[in-house]
Amino acid sequence: LRAPLEELPAKCFLVPGIPVKPMLAHPTKGISEVLDRFADQTFTCEYKYDGERGQVHVLENGQVKVFSRNSEDSTGKFPDIVRTLPQALAAGTRSAVLDCEIVAYDTDAQRILPFQVLSTRARKKVLEADVKVQVRLFVFDALFLNGRSLLHETLRTRRELLLAAFHEGEHVRFVTHREVSDKDGMLDFLQAAVDDSCEGLMIKALDSEYEPDKRSRLWLKVKKDYVEGMSDSVDLVLLGAWHGKGKRTSTFGAFLLACYCPDTGEYQTVCKLGTGFSDERLAALSATLTPLALPAAPAEYRVPDGPGGPEVWFAPRLVWEVAGADLTLSP
């Protein structure tokens, strides 16, 4: 080292071409919690898109690189973004690092498609001529612009600079945002986001700096399945389970759920569920389910072929009400 460790932050610079870990948002249970947390702050609401987090770098030489949330180089996955992003640069914009969400997009219907559609897109060495899943890049933040790091600027300033340095293009859009300060206004905007095929809202303090690799309470997220009256629920039958991992090895950690078809007498699998349980609840469920265990899946259980199925099967005795944002088909 050429300098003491305490000087390391001052010696490390954000440089286009080298990814940084993204800033993350804290989940909330609803609009009221957001208003309580931001009672003394000015904030903005943005659509929360159902896509893949992307960090897009524009280098001084004109090269465009795309990195994933985990800092993996995804440039080869998005040749359409690489080709069209330079067209969105305003005059004088030479270099940038942008925080974005990449979504699958139906160009005929002009609507966002579920994440499951995006997940079918090839990951490496994609030729634009072979692309079957079209995408849109929704830009919501700028971390670097024209040789200058913006990490310590406020979101208000970063947004102003972003809007001046770029314009919307063939595959590039700015995030839809609105400044609201009351519950009714936020609920209206949340409903608009859901109507536009989004997951919910991101709520951000306008005076917040960009903090890489931190889940900040200055950024909050509200998903429609957190809000009473906006989520969908279905009654499903428990068929099987997988053992937990880590601290949950002594309990079941995930469950296979199905619906019953009275016409055929079959149980048709719907989803694998592994969230929404406390450790205490999982322990109680394991005690309840163990006596219901079966040596194998009965013939009336209609399950996908291949490996990866439940480690334990149960007699169909328990019915759970399951709430979620949407029901979507697996790719």
Q: Which of 211, 197, 193 is nearest to 149 (CA)?
A: 211
Q: Are strands 52-58 and 111-112 parallel, antiparallel or unpaired?
A: unpaired
> Which whole-number Å values give the CA distances from 32 to 186, 189, 286, in the listed order?
10, 14, 35
The answer to whether the CB of 81 falls within 8 A of the CB of 70 is: no
Residue 287 phi, psi dihedral angles, 5° rounding: -65, -35
Enumerate the active-site residues: 48
| Cβ atoms < 10 Å from Cβ of 282 | 20
Nearest to 33, CA basis, from 223, 230, 279, 276? 223
The DSSP bridge partners found for residue 83 are none
Query: Got the DSSP string for 137-206?
Result: EEEEEEEEETTEE-TTS-HHHHHHHHHHHB---SSEEEPPEE---SHHHHHHHHHHHHHTT--EEEEEET
Q: For residue 77, count CB atoms less than 10 angstroms from its CB and return exposed for 0-12, middle for 13-18, buried for 19 or more.
A: buried
CA gap 213, 210 in Å, rounded: 10
Number of other CB atoms surrounding residue 325 within 10 Å: 17
